[in-house]
Structure 1
């Protein structure tokens, strides 16, 4: 995706992550927080928060830093992280699950527990509150079955790959530590790396100028983007559900074919002697049994092909749909943090400042005594708070604009998913068709005539005809 194409992208939506869609429409408007009347405006904004020295502070890219110039292939090439289960280890009272996490980029292989992911997630939110941080799957260890553990492993793999490919995250020390540190206490190491560093706002050179890069119609783009992402999320959610149903049917079909073949084999292996009145057809029954006994191999092969197709579509279709859904959900979570965090704090600070200005105006009109030193200091502190909150609000919108672009960079994943689905269907039907065709000649002996000559099969209705 080129930078020029990103000018028209929606910028800063604010959709609630886990609330009903109806609740989203009740969110307070953000426009009021972005402007002040001349009478209430504090002095020119200056960042008042202390900035810890950091050699890895974000550098300003050439051109407009608001616009991303990334393609999906470039994102996917940043890293490919594998998360595999290792044999269960038993603690003093409970057994716990460990994961082998290997990074292609760092050429590393480390062991992590679920709680390590939790601390890593907390550090990301602490350092990057204005970025899309994917959610972790639930912990729920007591009574967890293998199906849950496998689903959680898949979710952790999606999480770490989204993080490892995210532009700001991929260059941060906390990611490198998580993927490559092999010491005994990775959790403390992660926490130490985030101490006295501050968040992205405090370490970004252009944080104080974020407003200068935002489009003038930020609020219009805000609403358009919010609606667009909501619609995309709903559609992909339905696609994922249907894909899961198709995978489930393929697996059920495999199980049914296997049982079908076993029952045919059991029928052909039956050794119960025929009664005397049925001995006239004993040779026919013997031939039938011999043919039925051999069919189980073909049906087992059919079952295997159906199971392979289901497994392939689970990995290549359902998992990619889940990956994109995780990304969209993290975008909705980000918008909720923006609305309930910096935006609301900014609105409260503006309200408090407005009250303070009115009190000062009233005191001046009544010729009261000038402000004491403490009141002046309080006013200066309050103005600094408002200035910082205003800067944070604009920086949050700046990041939201970039995260919206990142969602659009991932949109071509749709074509990858469709191609994988179509290829799986073609390959699966082709392989199963070959097995069915190979099976057909083996059925000829089932339709042998009275003198051993093959006769075409007839439907049961043929024997019921009055003619």
Structure 2
């Protein structure tokens, strides 16, 4: 688009390659995001067997979202579908102090989980940065192997005028032919390790971060609800104080406030379950760190063996020249005398 605005010619082939690459990356990222989202839903202890989840997983056709809205638009929410016996459970207990303690503990856990979310995001950025550098290192090793191969296959003839009695280069050149194999093996191992780490980050760390992000979003909605409840109760109390006599609307207001308080108490209970679910899922962080550690151990072991083989090749290369007889060195064919 920028080239078109400047009146310059657009390379359609280059543009197609760019668009296709972007589309593939976008589709792959969306696929991974959907997979993580479905895993979170299907592992949820309360909603994993909900009808709307089953509908989504078994739906075949187009416009899944529109069909879901049409099918479930009149379905009651959790509070409305809850039995009155469970909502009225322990109603004789003073709820004011209990609600205050629940809100206090909710806000404490909200602050802590928000902190965890920030730190895990930072860890993800660090791991992504390290992995991107390692991918670049893999390309650099591949280029290094190509350069060594070019040196080994060079057929330039060199005069004695340039080298004098020193014939070390042809001996080195012969030995260079086996080194690209080792260097390319390192490049392949680095790529394999990066892919393993990328899988851990995309499939496990991202899912944990999205779970924490979802919890933060839930907390914001609850905060807004609690604030609206506070304003509604305050407004109702002010209206009652201004009323000199009891009107017919007072019982209705009392009932509405009672339902509102019950609804928000139920919301707090649901958030408590979600909070416990978040802390239960934090065990995944141990698996993530363990997977990254095992990947590094495997990579280090592979790198050690390859670099050891590389060092042995270099050692043999130097020893070849040392053990070569003066006649053999003099008869090196790469030189013109």
TM-score of Structure 1 vs Structure 2, range by shorter chain: 0.7 to 0.9
Query: CA offsets, 1:400-448, max 9 Å, x none?
Result: 1111110111121122112111111111111111111222232234313
- Contact 1:257–1:299 (CA under 8 A) maintained in structure 2: yes
- Secondary structure of residue in 1 paired with 2:124: helix
- Are 1:354 and 2:233 counterparts? no
- Secondary structure of residue in 2 paired with 1:169: coil
Q: Note the 1:128-143 alignment, pairs <5 A.
A: none
Tell me, in whole angstroms, the C-alpha distance in 2 between the residues paired with 1:400 and 1:292.
Answer: 65
Tell me, in whole angstroms, the C-alpha distance in 1 between the residues paired with 2:203 and 2:74.
Answer: 38
Q: CA deviation at 1:235?
A: 2.4
Aligned twin of 1:409: 280
- Are 1:226 and 2:126 counterparts? no
Question: Whose radius of gyration is greater, 1 or 2?
Answer: 2
Provide structure 1 residue ranges, at least 5 long, that are not aligned to the other structure: 1-94, 96-140, 365-369, 454-467
Q: CA deviation at 1:349?
A: 2.0
- Contact 1:274–1:282 (CA under 8 A) maintained in structure 2: no
Tell me, in whole angstroms, the C-alpha distance in 2 between the residues paired with 1:278 and 1:184.
Answer: 75
- Contact 2:131–2:197 (CA under 8 A) maintained in structure 1: yes
Aligned twin of 2:321: 449
Q: CA deviation at 1:226?
A: 2.3
Partner of residue 160 from structure 1, selected from 33, 38, 48: 38
Aligned length: 301
Query: CA offsets, 1:368-400, max 9 Å, x none?
Result: xx85xxxx2x44543333222111110111111
Aligned twin of 1:388: 259
Aligned twin of 1:430: 301
- 1:445 to 1:191, Cα distance in 2 relative to 1, 3 A: same
Q: CA deviation at 1:283?
A: 5.5
Tell me, in whole angstroms, the C-alpha distance in 2 between the residues paired with 1:290 and 1:210.
Answer: 87
Aligned twin of 1:178: 56
- Contact 2:171–2:321 (CA under 8 A) maintained in structure 1: no
Q: Note the 1:67-466 alignment, pairs <5 A.
A: 144=22, 146-205=24-83, 208-209=87-88, 216=98, 217-278=101-162, 284-317=168-201, 319-340=203-224, 342-361=225-244, 364=245, 371=247, 376=248, 378-447=249-318, 448-449=320-321, 452=324
Q: CA deviation at 1:237?
A: 2.1
Q: CA deviation at 1:450?
A: 5.3
- Contact 1:288–1:445 (CA under 8 A) maintained in structure 2: no
- 1:247 to 1:332, Cα distance in 2 relative to 1, 3 A: same
Normalised by the size of structure 1, how large is the TM-score? 0.59
RMSD: 2.9
- Secondary structure of residue in 1 paired with 2:154: coil
Greater share of strand: 1
Q: CA deviation at 1:150?
A: 3.0
